[in-house]
Amino acid sequence: MKKCPSCNGFGFIVPLFNPIKIDCEACAGAGELDMELAWLGYGEEMRKWRLDKGLTLREASRRYELDPSNLSKMERGLIKPRCYYEVH
């Protein structure tokens, strides 16, 4: 099991303008992801790697031949990442 990146392992989110707890949709309130949904955390790792290399979103998308909006969605866990970055 892997900690859910959407709720940071808490199992719920608190909307900014409405202070009530809502079960996280990604992990269904469990706080952890089963292996089938573990890819949701990969985007966070991809973004960290990109920032550590000093690449902007546009530079990284050009280098890895990805659409910048899709790369952004991958990093935010909205779509499944095509692959990990290759570390050179």
User: Is residue 8 pLDDT above 80, yes or no?
Assistant: no
CA atoms of 28 and 49, how far apart (whole Å): 28
Over residues 22-77, the pLDDT tens digits come to 888 777 778 777 666 666 677 878 888 899 999 999 999 999 888 999 889 888 87
pLDDT confidence of 87, banded at 50, 70, 90?
very low
User: Is residue 7 pLDDT above 60, yes or no?
Assistant: yes
Rg (C-alpha) for the chain, rounded Å, is 15
- Domains belonging to the chain, first-starting first, are 1-33 (no CATH), 42-88 (1.10.260.40)
* pTM for the structure as a whole: 0.55
